[in-house]
Every structure is written in C-alpha cells, then in structure tokens.
Amino acid sequence: MRAVLAAARVAAALPGDDDEWFAGCESALWEPTGARLEVAALSAAVVAAAAAGEAALLAALADRAAALAPPDDVADPEDGAETPEKRLLAWAADRGAACAFRGARFGGRVRGAAFATPTPAGAAIARIPAALLFTPAAAAATDIGRALAALPGVGADDRFVVACLVDAADPDSPRAPMWGALARADVVTGLTVGDEDAALLAGTAAGRLVDPARTHVAACLAAARPALRSVATAFGKIVPGLDAALSDAAYVRMVALAYGWTHETVFVTASATPGTAPTPPAHPTPAFVPPLFLANHAPVPHAVAYGRVQGGAFEVVSLRAGTPGSAFTLGYGRGTTANKALAYYGFVPAEDGDSGVLVSVGGREVCVRRAAARSRGALAAARRAAASPGELADLESGAACAWTGRGLGGGAEARARAALAAPLAAEEHALRAAAAAAAARPGPWAEAVREYCQQCLGVCEAAAKWLAAC
C-alpha cells in the first residue's frame, strides 16, 4: 500500500502547489504530506483498487481514510414532508439514477445529504446517467442556447449562465426539479454579498481573492446585459416572469451556483482502436450533477467533487464506509483553503493540519501553517528570496528537499525568516481589523468572516512563535 500511496501523492499534487516540495525528496513520499493531499491520493487509489478488484488493498486504503476522518454528523429524523430534495431524487431515480443517499438537514438548519443505505468503501454512492448532467454543451443544445450562439459578443461562459437562468425560470423545463432544489441553496458568498460586506475582508488573503473575482463578474455582467435584454424580449412571452429571472442579482447568483455547485467532470469516450485504453480530454468541464450537489463539504469526505463520465454515467465511488443516517460528504477539491471556501462557497472549513494563511514571499503566494514542518513550501520560497547567488546555485544543484530540509548558512536564514515574518505580521493586522469590522455587522456572512479571521489569527500566532524560535 505504501508504494501505491507514494505514487498517488505525486499524481495528486497540484501544479504550483506548495506541497510539491516533496516531489524531489524520495524519502518524503512514504509518509502523508498533509491531510488534503492525502485525501486526494486516497481517493484516486480507492477508485483504482475498486476497479481492479483488489479487495485487500481496498480494505487497507479504507481503514486509512477512516482513521483520518472525525465522526460523521448524524442527520435529523425525516419528517415525511414533501421537499424539493425528495422531488429531485425521485426525478433522478425515474431517469435511471441510483443513489445511496437522501436529502437531509442537520441541527434543524444545515441542508445536506445523508446515507440512505449501508455503503462500504469502494462501492458506488451514486451512478447518474450522463443525460442528467447539465453542462455548457447541454445548455448550448437547448433553444435558448442556440439563440444565444447567434448573438454577437456573448462568450461561452455567459451563454451557459444565461441559458441556466432561462431554463431555471421555465416551469416546463425538463430540469425543473433540479432548479427547484437549487433555488433553496444558501448562496451567500464573496460573489453575491453587497459591497459593504465584501469590504470586510479588505487587506486579507480572502479579500485579495474576492476583489478581483467580483470585478470580473461585474465586467461579465456588463458585457452580458445586451444579451439579457434580447433574451427577455424574445422569450418573455413564453417564460412568465423572465424579466425578474434575468436581473443583475439573479445573474450573479447563477454565476456563484455555476462555480460552487457544479462538479469538474471529464467525459471519457471509448477508443477508436480496439484494445487501447480510452483517453479523457485535456480539460474537465463544469457540470450540474443532480442530485450529487446536495452533499456538503468535509475535509475527509466520502467522495470528491470531480469525476468521470464513462460508460454513459457519472459514478461516485466511496472513499470510506457510510452508515444510514450519517452525513454523506464531498471534498470540494485540494484547493479548498479557508480563503477560497469563504470567497466561493460562503463557509470556512473545519481547521486541520493543512489550515493556513496565504502570504506573498518573493513574488509567490505561499501557505504558512501552524507548524514549521507543514510550512516547507513557504520556507523554501523565503529561502530562495533571501539566498545569495552562491547559496542559490549550491542549493539548486542538490536535492530539491534541500530547500526545506536545512536552513541557509550565516545570516541568510535569518533574512529568509524575516521575509516570511513581515507579510505574516501584515496579514495578522488585516485579519484583526476584519474581525473587528465583522463583529459590528449581523448576518451569516459577517459570522463566516469572523470565523475565518479567528481561524487565520490562530495560525498567524502559532507561526510567529516557530519563526521566532528558530
């Protein structure tokens, strides 16, 4: 199993990610490098082991995943009432979907999904026919999609968003149950909140992510307005209430849904050459995958929010076992850091060993964590920024892990740590200001900002201690 996980860790590392430090350091491959990378590696290994029928390896991988996971939340008892989530699951089942979960609430408030049947590791949690997925290509094939394609100056992303808006407003849409469930989604994110709420994050890593994203969405909306007016004129008599469905606020909300509630999906087609493996396309495509989007995020989930459509279906394989009534969760991706989760999903993930604060060192944004051992990428960037030409040549001629395994000589190590401490102190200052501003505002967004600041301030304080102690 160790060799399988070592290979999976390398494959799961994101390009440019600060966990790539281990790639040139062979000894580091044999142990976990971080919870999120380990989950990504385990997910890939479980899928491969299940497909190959390797029962012993699958059991060992599942045990490792279960050991990483905290206890799953338990869903509230079902009350028998008809809900949009139940209608969605029934609609999907009528069209060939097989799901081992149901819609659920937790603590009377939080919406999510819970297992409906016992599901062992390596088993399919869901198998959803490709025809149920709503992708940019599927949107382009609708009447509104074809009409949008004829309009000049409307980009592919805007065509998808506008087509979703019209389809969601159409009571006769074949996807009406999907849109009915999504209409209940709590879309309070850095993209959808007002300017004053977004300004709470000024100067923080989350603010540096939110501000350009909001500017980009505003520019897209401005460019899309002529198309929105044309669509309202052309389809207004067919779709009641279309004007309201194409408002600025509705557009921004749909953009947030298209980012946060879709799944990165690869469509794999059979090879034209008999006996050769099918090859997926170079880039995944976003897809609304009903009813999979009901599941919430967890750091050590039961499955990941990306997958393949192969053999005519989107299949989700369980990373670890699930029991009826316990939460069914998804991992939203390796990059679901606190600032990204707050910006695009409106929540802050539970703190784990990978929780950190993003700062800029030597022109590169790196992640500083509570422990020096989990901040190797940040230390490597600081050492590169502080090293003399001779030290730079010496370290680059050695093993890649030399950047993280030992410090620089003389005063260069002190300069490197100072290069890391300065932006960390600036981030701490911005976080304290954001926490104070959020404390004076009501609502779920301000609450999430306060939680984000509290988590990141804890990291800043712990990191400052190990930087000063070294």
- The pLDDT tens digits of the residues spanning 229-280 come to 888 888 888 888 888 889 999 999 999 999 889 988 888 876 555 555 555 5
Residue 13: pLDDT band with limits 50, 70, 90: low
With H, G, I as helix, E, B as strand and everything else as coil, classify residue 356: strand
Residue 279 φ then ψ, to 5°: -115, 130
Contacts of 461 (CB under 8 A, 6+ apart): 428
- Specify whether the CB–CB gap between 36 and 354 falls below 8 A: yes
- Specify whether the CB–CB gap between 260 and 189 falls below 8 A: yes
Point out which residues pair with 307 in neighbouring strands.
265
Of 164, 114, 133, give the one whose Cα is nearest residue 295: 114
> In the chain, pLDDT over 90 holds for what percent of residues?
44
- Specify whether the CB–CB gap between 306 and 97 falls below 8 A: no
Amino acid in the structure at residue 427: E
Tokens of 320: 């670890």
Contacts of 281 (CB under 8 A, 6+ apart): 266, 267
Report the alpha-carbon distance of residue 51 to residue 58 in Å, rounded: 10
* Report field, pTM of the whole predicted structure over 0.85: yes
Report, in this order, helix, strand and coil percent for the chain, each rounded to 5.
Answer: 55, 15, 35
Point out which residues pair with 265 in neighbouring strands.
285, 307
Residue 401: pLDDT band with limits 50, 70, 90: very low
With H, G, I as helix, E, B as strand and everything else as coil, classify residue 315: strand
- The pLDDT tens digits of the residues spanning 160-179 come to 999 999 999 999 999 999 99
Domain-wise residue ranges, the chain: 2-68, 136-260, 355-469
Report the alpha-carbon distance of residue 410 to residue 394 in Å, rounded: 14
Strands (E), 162-312: 263-267, 285-287, 296-297, 303-304, 306-310
Q: What is the DSSP letter of 96?
A: T
Residue 186: pLDDT band with limits 50, 70, 90: confident
- Specify whether the CB–CB gap between 111 and 184 falls below 8 A: yes
Of 357, 351, 334, give the one whose Cα is nearest residue 204: 357
Average pLDDT across the chain, whole number: 85
> Which stretch of DSSP H or E encloses residue 360?
strand 356-361
**pLDDT given at position 272:** 52
Q: Rounded to whole angstroms, what are the CA distances from 247 to 185, 228, 243, 266?
A: 18, 9, 7, 32
Q: What is the DSSP letter of 186?
A: -
Of 362, 422, 427, give the one whose Cα is nearest residue 392: 362
**Is the model's pLDDT at 467 over the cut of 80?**
yes
What CA dihedral angle connects 301, 209, 307 and 13, to 10 degrees?
Answer: -80
Point out which residues pair with 308 in neighbouring strands.
266
**pLDDT given at position 400:** 44
- The pLDDT tens digits of the residues spanning 346-392 come to 999 887 767 788 898 878 888 888 888 778 778 878 887 877 777 76
- Specify whether the CB–CB gap between 125 and 326 falls below 8 A: no
- The pLDDT tens digits of the residues spanning 335-349 come to 568 888 999 999 998
Mean pLDDT of 23-41: 65
What CA dihedral angle connects 29, 72, 189 and 111, to 10 degrees?
Answer: 150
Of 450, 132, 400, give the one whose Cα is nearest residue 291: 132
Q: Rounded to whole angstroms, what are the CA distances from 8 to 43, 44, 226, 253?
A: 9, 7, 47, 36
> Which stretch of DSSP H or E encloses residue 94?
helix 84-94
**Is the model's pLDDT at 394 over the cut of 80?**
no
**Is the model's pLDDT at 417 over the cut of 90?**
no
Report the alpha-carbon distance of residue 26 to residue 42 in Å, rounded: 19
